[in-house]
Every structure is written in structure tokens, then in C-alpha cells.
Structure 1
Amino acid sequence: MTSVRITSSALGQSQLVGRQIARAAIPTFCSSSQTSFHKLSPTSSSTFSINSRRPGSAAAPFSTTTAARMRDVFPARETEHIRQTPAAWPHHGYTEAEMLAVVPGHRAPETIGDRIAWRLMRICRWGMDTATGMSRDQKSDKKNPTTAIASEQPLTEAQWMTRFIFLESIAGVPGMVAGMLRHLHSIRRLKRDNGWIESLLEESYNERMHLLTFMKMCEPGWFMKLMILGAQGVYFNAMFFSYLLSPRVCHRFVGYLEEEAVHTYTRCLAEIEAGQTPAWTDPKFQVPEIAIRYWNMPEDKRTMRDLILYIRADEAGHRGVNHTLGNLDQKSDPNPFVSEYKSGREPPKPLARPAGYERNEVM
């Protein structure tokens, strides 16, 4: 197996106390002393290293354990008869044109519920920026937080992996909570749900596949695991009670969360294309096998850039779906994205609608 190892700082110069704490804690985010990226080749055993620590960055490495001790966090278990377990929801795929057409976007808050959801999302974004030690020079324009991607200083590969793993561990919660509550509601009320449950659970599954893909590239350390545990505990319970009170506000909040995800992956793509992430543009780098199978990635489209394109398109779809669901009657409207229309028209496509569809457009 060929592994590309990078010695990379996870943090820039600390300017606030929160960033100083993050700089002290970040070495335990990932448990190998260099972030390891694997090319899945059964015949090769050579390794090489790329020093990607940028001038002015902190000396602390991204991880704490030697790359030789890097383990598969969810190894395949051999059984006597089963060859493999296919995905419960096979990915429907995208064309290259659809993926390239995705752009950051923002739905301006209109109602009080929208404003609450947007403010909560901005607080969460500030918390993630602080916890991952993003310096002031690495932040983009605060006046356009979900669309501006330019910054004075790029993020390192280590910082990107920290953000990806933390983001995806959180993003997989809302769909599961909403799908579970709507499932129980359907049973309790003895009524059909008209397609919401399946879409919400599939969204949660898709987000988990993003996380599993990134975990094949970096195994989280104990501090990251504690952060995920605490965040998930708070987030799950908050989402559970919030969805009972106002599903509409929850879907708007998730729509804003997905806006942030599209922004994050768009900025990452820009830095990859600008050559600011050398480990990911190295010719020997290849995405994990789990990603190749899930997205059915063509043989000549298996770079880190291609992987981010697929994931960004997924997030753009979730963005459009949740903003649209937030506009519908939560008790009686069917899910337009899986419905057949009387006129024979195609279901709406959420990928290119950052603000989602209004109710009168789809009902």
C-alpha cells in the first residue's frame, strides 16, 4: 500500500485565547504524526513525505502517533459467505456539468424563524472556526460569509481534514432525527408521510458516507472524538426537541448549515486548483475505495478535486431540499422531490437552487 504522508500544521498564528487553546489541543485531533492519505494499491509498499507546513504556522503537528500505527478505523470483516454489503441507498450520480455548476448561495432570512435559524448557524460557524484554530488571515469576507471564498492565507490539508470530519459528523444528525420523528408520527397518527421519511434518512446516510470517506484518510484522535461526542450529544437533543416544536425552523436551519458546507467545499476546491494543497495534487494520491464504489467514480476521475466535487454536489442538493421543505406545509404537503406530477413534469432539481423552491412552484 502506498501512503502519502504530510507533516502539516493544523493552526496558524493565534490571536485570541480561543485559538491558543485550539493550538494546544489540535495535535490530538488525528492519531498519526503525519496525516496519512492512502492510495489503494495492493502491490506497492513504498512511502514518501511532503512537508506542507507553511511559513508562520504553529510548530505543533496535526497528530500524535506515528504513521506506522495508523489503523483502519472500520476494517472489512471476512465471513464465510458474504462478499460485501452494498449501500442501502445507492448514489444516483451527477454529470460533470451539474457538479461544476454548483455555486455558494444564500437564502436571505424572511421570517422570525428564519432569523433565529440563521443566527444559530452563525454561532455554530464561529464555534467551529475557533475550535479548529482558523486565524484571522484565513477567514473570508465576513460580510458575505456563505459566498465569499477568498482569504489572505489558505488552510493546510490538516486544517481541512479537521473541518471536514467535524462538519460531517454533525451534518449526519438532522436527517436521522427528522426521519425518526416523522416515522413515529406516521405510525402514531396512522397516516402516510408522502415521501419525507425516505429522503431525510437518505440524506443522513449520504452525510455519513462523507464522514466514512474522510476517516479513511485520517483517523481522529481522542480530543476530536471527545469533541464529536459532546457536539453530537448536544446537537441531537437540541434538534430532537426543536423539531417537535417547529419542523419548519429546523429545515431552515439545516438549509443554512448546508449553505456553509457548500461554501467550505467550494473554497477547498479553489485552494486545490490554485496548488495550495500539494499533498492532494500529488500524482500518487488516490481517493479511498469506499468513495470510488459509492459515487461510481470513473477511473480517470479519482483525484481529491473530483471527490470534493461529488461531496459539494451532495451538500448543494441537501441545501435545496431543506430550504424547500422549510417552505411547505409540514403536516400535509408531499415531498416534491420524489413525487409524480399530474402534468408529467419532472420533479424539481434542488442542486441548482440555493434558496430552494417556494411552495407555489412545487405544489
Structure 2
Amino acid sequence: MKPFLTGHEELIHDIKYDFYGKHLATVSSDQHIKVFDLDSTTSSWILNDSWKAHDSSILRVSWAHPEFSSSKILASCSFDRTVKIWQEQPDELHGSGRRWSKLVTLAIESYAPIYDVVFAPNHLGLKLGCVGSDGIFRIYESVEPSDLSQWALTSEIPILNSSLPAKSLQSSFAIEWCPSKFTTTEKFIVVALDQGFIYGTKPGGGKDDLQNSPRQQSPLQQQLEQQPQSQQESRYIKLGNLPEHNGLIRSVSWAPSMGRNYHLIATACKDGYVRIFKAIETAKGDLKIEILAKLNDHKSEVWRVNWNMTGTILSSAGDDGNLRLWKCNYLNEWKCMSVINTSNRSDNRGIEVEPK
């Protein structure tokens, strides 16, 4: 795969592949979203379209699973305090600025910038979560699958019990859904500053349990409007915390289970550490959390972590300009198996070259 210029005029905040890895979306402080298509014959990325999507810096972008629509769907969030959902219009020309149309604007209840938006795994139905610096995690759900412009706010969960961070200070908020289909209840992680919280539906209760997934019981607008707010919030309970972070948590990633009877969760922290947690579901329904590894090979702030499809290899990226790949050996120790240098001092194979 060849490196390429995106054409953004400001800092790029997020890059996401679609489900098949053939399309790429980027967002930037220039308030634009750009979508690229992979040309398999030349292994190069071709611009699908670019458009001004928000009135301020765009921080995150997320793809919906392709099973919900014949056209691709994106969600984006911004400092302008909104979440917007976009749908591709295949009849429009590439690069016309009209190929992606806005379906709906969400998070209008928020009075603070939205830092992250993520679609839920497809087995939970068409829903997404977003979190902003107001410290509230919101879940929106598609009301009618045939009309993707109709969404309803189904839950609001206050995350921060203490006072909100000052606007002049750095903040970090993130979301990660549990990707496993075989867990007993719906679970997700919400990161707020230097704290990570794991939430889930109550075992045996709540319409979002996997036994009563939205695929079988799609929510109706009338029912959601009549549902008391206290009842909405009570659907989710806190299952555990991710401890021992000494700085802002920049990223969190939940590993696919692939038959394991426990969960693996990784975080990237401003204190320079990559942390790997093991979460075991107890008979009471909560999670027992333990730290498996604290890795500081980056020697600088770590910005992103991400698991591979089998949950066996973890990648991390930091201010040292390196992408590191981690794997657990036969002694149950996490070791760096490869370092990919991304600086200008690398040759075309990504191998670090010593300065002359």
C-alpha cells in the first residue's frame, strides 16, 4: 500500500476503514470529510468525494455496518457540538461535493463539543454512541430501518461525577463497544479524561439484552417518547473501571474474543504507557479487572491502540513516530514483535535508517 496525500489543509484527527477495507474516511480541523476508494489494480487511493461537513474541527468518524443499507453510511462528530449522519448517493459524480448527503443531525441536546462517535456492532442493531466534554454518554437508535433519517435518543448516562474540566485544559473522551456476540449483555467502555468506565445492561433485563436485540424488537418512536428518563438510565449499570492511569486516556480498544472466556482491553495514555487489561465476567454479572501489562517502549505520549481481527496482536502509535506491534508469548508476557517507523528518515520499506 502506497502513502498518499489527503489534501486536507489542517491537522487530520481521525482515519477509518470501512467494513471491507476498500474505503477510507478522513476528518480534519479544516471542517471537511474526505472519502477515498481503493483502486485494487494500482493499490492506490482515489478520492471519492470531499465536502464541508461541520462548522468547526471534526474529531471522529465512524462507518455503519453495510448490512443496514445498500449505500454506505458515515457518522461524524465535531467541536460544533453535533453528530451528523451521512449517506452516499451513488448517482452523484465523484468529487462533486454532492455525493454524500446528510441524513440527520444528532446530539442537539449537548452543550459541549462532541469528542467521539461510534456505531455499535451490527448484532446490536443500528445504533451509535457519542460522548462530549459535558460528561454525558448518549445512545441514539434508528427508529425505522426503511427511513434512516429517523433516530431517537434512547439513553443518557452521566459519566463524570466530579466537576467538568476547564475549557482551557486538554480533554479526552472516547467510546468502545464490546465486539463479542456471545457476551451475556451489551457492554461498552466510556473514557473520560484519565478514567475508563465499563457499562452494561442489567443481566436478564432491559430491551437491549442480546436475547432481545433490536433486530427482533425494533424500538418505536412512541414508546421511546413515553419512556421516563430515569428508566432509560437504569437500563445500564457500571460493571467496572480501568485503573492506574496517570494521565489522559487517549484511546481504548476492546479485543474480539475469538473463543476466549475473558475479555482483553487496551488503552493508550498520555503518561507514555500502553496498558492491557483482562476482564472476567463474574457470576454476579459484573467484571473482574486486572492489569496484564504496562508497556512504555514509546517513551512518549501514546495516542492510539487497536487490536487485529483475532484479538491476538495489538498495535500502538505514539509521539515517537513509531507504530509498534505487540503479542503475548508462551510465558504470557506481552512483547514488542515489530516496530514500523513512520518518520521521513525511513526508507520505502518502513525500516528505520540511522542518520548520517
- Interval of TM-score (by shorter of Structure 1 and Structure 2): under 0.3
**Relative CO higher for 1 or 2, CA cutoff 8 Å, sep ≥ 6?**
1
Normalising by structure 2, what TM-score? 0.21
| Structure with the higher helix share, 1 or 2 | 1
User: Which structure has greater strand proportion?
Assistant: 2
